[in-house]
Structure 1
Amino acid sequence: MIKSTVTTESELIRICRRDIADEVLSIARLSLLDWLGCVFAARATPVAKAWARALGADGEDALPNALSPTRMDPQGAALALGAFGNVLEMDDLHRASILHPGDTICAAALAVAMRRPTSGPALLAAIVRGYEIAIRIGTAVATGGYTPFYNSGTCGVFGAAMAAGDLKRLDQEQLADAIGQAGMQAAGIWQCRLEPGFSKQLATAHAARAGVLSAELGAAGFLAPRRILTGKMGFFKSYYPEADTTALTVPAPWAITMMSYKPFPACRHTHPAISAALALGAGLSEPLRQVDIHTYRAALDFCDNAAPDTPDQARFSLQHAVAIALQKGAPEIADFDPPAIQSPPLKTLRGLVRLHLDPECDAAFPRQYGARIVVTTADGRVRDATCPAAWGDPENPMSQPDLIAKFHRNAAHGGLPPAEARTISEAVLALPDAADLAGLTQALTKAFAPEQETARCR
């Protein structure tokens, strides 16, 4: 067995394993609930059906097997679940790290926790620790903004390994091996955003499964590099040579307390502009001449599409998202489907939108995502609104009732009856006081594999 010296990696593990206050565990249950809602909402999408076919799932639905402790092993469940969270662009976000941690960490944590004796607080603590390491690494690599690598995959794998390792009660040496093996599997490049397809979902699914595998390797004594992050041929030198590694071990509150949640089913870069448009008021009665959106460079790079043809393109269109907000109010999932995309009034309104780089917003990115909208009416009157922090950001948070309501909307979109969605929600919210996961497991099994629940109760 290799004996660890004090390294940045070992210090990072120590920081992630410190005691967690009850109020932080309470936040983690909302992150888990939010991610589950995103998963449920996506279950009938083309990417989910294709994923289910690839995994050999019956009925083009991967969730019954993934959410059953007896039908699939932890690695398989993490792989199945890890592809769903980002499909409809409603997953959580940590701004400074440009990272969606729930997609990988919640998938890995739930996959492991449902298949071994686990208390509710233990599951939540694993999620907190997984978020912590992924976000600290992500913040280090994102100091200059975007790179060619997809942080949710490349950094998320470390969070998945930490969460799985914590649930498997790995000691310091075993966890160091798990983190090292996670680094060997870090993957995900941004070409997937430049072409249509489902590869972004593959990146998060791979990271979730690789994290679980890494924890299993650590438990087995499968030795790994101990300077996987900071070594001369390690993660930072190889993937992110401009990383600011001081972010790795700086004292800070738990990262999960600084998450942004998405109230709208669109790329987060559209949300500041949506919030500004909503501040102007939906259903403007006067005819418009022009709509000017001023925002940061990354939002323009990702979301400049005046004529989207598909739901995925519409979710990455500032023009479409703002047109929806101005025309009817808060965007919903259906507002990014073909009937809305092809609506003549929306096409006309999208055509009035002009995008501009705002130097102040750009200088604040990635620690702050902001936008300003200026609306000019046909008779020359001007109205404007500025959004320095979109609804859902830590400075402008969604409340617990907001997040619960979002979960239920998403569950309904995924076909769950209200009673079953309510039972799952109640089980997740009760996790801080749950001695085991029986309530959550039974709720998920009843909703997605009812024949197994019936057999169990005979």
Structure 2
Amino acid sequence: MATIESELTRICCGNIGADVRALARFSLLDWLGCIFAARATPVALAWARALNADRHDVLRSAMSPDRTDAQGAALALGGLGNVLEMDDLHRASILHPGDTVCAAALAVAMRRPTSGPTLLAAIVRGYEIATRIGVAVAAGGYTPFYNSGTCGVFGAAMAAADLHRLGSAHLADALGQAGMQAAGIWQCRLEPGFSKQLATAHAARAGVLSAELGAAGFTGPQAILTGEMGFFKSYYPGADPAAVLDPQPWAISRMSYKPFPACRHAHPAISAALALGADLSSPVQRVDIHTYRAAIDFCDNTAPETADQARFSLQHAVAVALQKGAPEIVDFAPPALQVPATKALRGLVHLHVDPEYDAAFPNQYGARVVATTADSTTHTATCPAAWGDPENPMSEADLIAKFQRNAAHGGLTAKAATNVQEAVLALADAPDLGALAQSLAQSLVPQQETA
């Protein structure tokens, strides 16, 4: 008899067209740029110490199949994608699937014979199951659980299981074991620390382990989502289980990408502020941001003291956008937080819950910014869909440019970054991952070793 779990896996294991697999190249490229950019952050350095990474470079160890197994690589890779808040987002599920799915898929694929199309298909399927479960649990908005961890583990398991070519019975076991390891609560956003990165890293590794358990015949609960003590009733009692089966295009075709290194909830306001910039002919005396409640809950910080806090500050992100244009990574670093003009403008920003935007969340993330200038003129810009959303997408050229900037920030040479970029974009026709593995290994060799 068909169950929600079996129907869900049937959907996710459906035929994937070449056009959809091609989209997965950009999800992988975007995630790689995010982890490259985070390579030398305090999170990455602490992570490297904890994992005893070679030369304190967690990426170098993870990308070397002779140094780490798939679980170890997924754990290492899964901790970096969300550090700088540039990871992809699926809005309706309030979920960043790339952090877990790409980490698990790449960790497994680099350690077994895999073609480029096979890797891309695994990523598509991982995104699909994670976001479908995420849509069901996000029906009422945020809960105390961190969806990227709790739902992301299913995506990681699906991607890894697909690469292991598990049949339906073993796949069901793998997903059951993934649910047994689902973890992540939002206390991590209320206190400073690296636990958000731990949640995605754990989910990536647990997904790989789940696939390996399934392959070994290590049986798991079949009603892991809908059982009396299953995932939905235990973690998300307000979930809508039937939503996982709703007819939808492949999730990877509906992703949002972040052009700016800040919480996605700040992006609609940033986009609106950028639209205002050219119209402001005199000094700003007041800024009013009208947006949805979750954006304010996450990003209300008039006086951020750290880069992490600044990335979750509507006031800072909008002040930067009004003063200098599109925010960059350096604009959230501690020195930028102390710029007198930026500090002054942050203090002039006022936040308001807009009922219309609030009702549209989480399916849409919108904002309206009103700037009042010294001549008492008001200037208004609205953003129903931020740049990078499916309705206002970043082009392929935009995503490539973002990858190049992030790779450079992570210390890659222009040649090394381009080699990785070309290898990823060629995956749709690649008979194996040789070119990708070589480009990744070469990009992470310290420059003194190549002299």
For Structure 1 versus Structure 2, the TM-score category normalised by the shorter chain is over 0.9
1:161/1:215 contact within 8 Å kept: yes
Give, in whole Å, the separation in 2 of the partners of 1:59 and 1:219: 34
- Find 1:444's aligned residue among 418, 440, 444: 440
Q: Does 1:362 align with 2:358?
A: yes
Give, in whole Å, the separation in 2 of the partners of 1:323 and 1:282: 14
- The residue aligned with 1:394 is 390
2:154/2:179 contact within 8 Å kept: yes
Stretches of structure 2 lacking an aligned partner (at least 5 in a row): none
1:283/1:329 contact within 8 Å kept: no
- The residue aligned with 1:155 is 151
The Cα shift of 1:58 comes to: 3.0
Q: Does 1:44 align with 2:40?
A: yes
1:282/1:328 contact within 8 Å kept: no
Stretches of structure 1 lacking an aligned partner (at least 5 in a row): none
Runs of at least 4 residues of structure 1 off by over 6 A? none
Give, in whole Å, the separation in 1 of the partners of 2:274 and 2:247: 37
Give, in whole Å, the separation in 2 of the partners of 1:354 and 1:59: 46
SS in 1 for 2:220: coil
Give, in whole Å, the separation in 2 of the partners of 1:288 and 1:191: 36
2:280/2:379 contact within 8 Å kept: no
SS in 2 for 1:222: coil
Query: Mapping of 1:133-282 within 5 angstroms?
Result: 133-281=129-277
The Cα shift of 1:449 comes to: 4.1
- The residue aligned with 1:413 is 409
- The residue aligned with 1:10 is 6
Deviates more, 1:101-110 or 1:281-290: 281-290
SS in 2 for 1:294: strand
Give, in whole Å, the separation in 2 of the partners of 1:6 and 1:355: 48
Number of residue pairs aligned between Structure 1 and Structure 2: 449
Give, in whole Å, the separation in 1 of the partners of 2:84 and 2:229: 36
- Find 1:23's aligned residue among 13, 16, 19: 19
SS in 2 for 1:436: coil
Q: Does 1:330 align with 2:322?
A: no
C-alpha offsets along residues 225-262 of structure 1, whole Å, 9 cap, x if unaligned? 00000001000000000101121112211011000000
2:130/2:151 contact within 8 Å kept: yes
The Cα shift of 1:40 comes to: 0.1
- The residue aligned with 2:74 is 78
C-alpha offsets along residues 138-169 of structure 1, whole Å, 9 cap, x if unaligned? 00000110000000000000000000000000
Query: Judging changes above 3 Å, is the alpha-carbon distance between structure 1 residues 378 and 190 closer, same or farther for their aligned structure 2 residues?
Result: same
Letter in 2 for 1:103: D
Root-mean-square deviation over aligned CA pairs: 1.2
The Cα shift of 1:59 comes to: 2.8
Give, in whole Å, the separation in 2 of the partners of 1:199 and 1:282: 40
TM-score by length of 2: 0.98
Query: Judging changes above 3 Å, is the alpha-carbon distance between structure 1 residues 55 and 282 closer, same or farther for their aligned structure 2 residues?
Result: farther
Give, in whole Å, the separation in 2 of the partners of 1:272 and 1:432: 33
- The residue aligned with 2:344 is 348
Deviates more, 1:40-49 or 1:274-283: 274-283
Give, in whole Å, the separation in 1 of the partners of 2:278 and 2:181: 46
SS in 2 for 1:385: strand
Query: Mapping of 1:278-357 within 5 angstroms?
Result: 278-281=274-277, 284-357=280-353
1:97/1:138 contact within 8 Å kept: yes
TM-score by length of 1: 0.97
Give, in whole Å, the separation in 1 of the partners of 2:285 and 2:59: 47
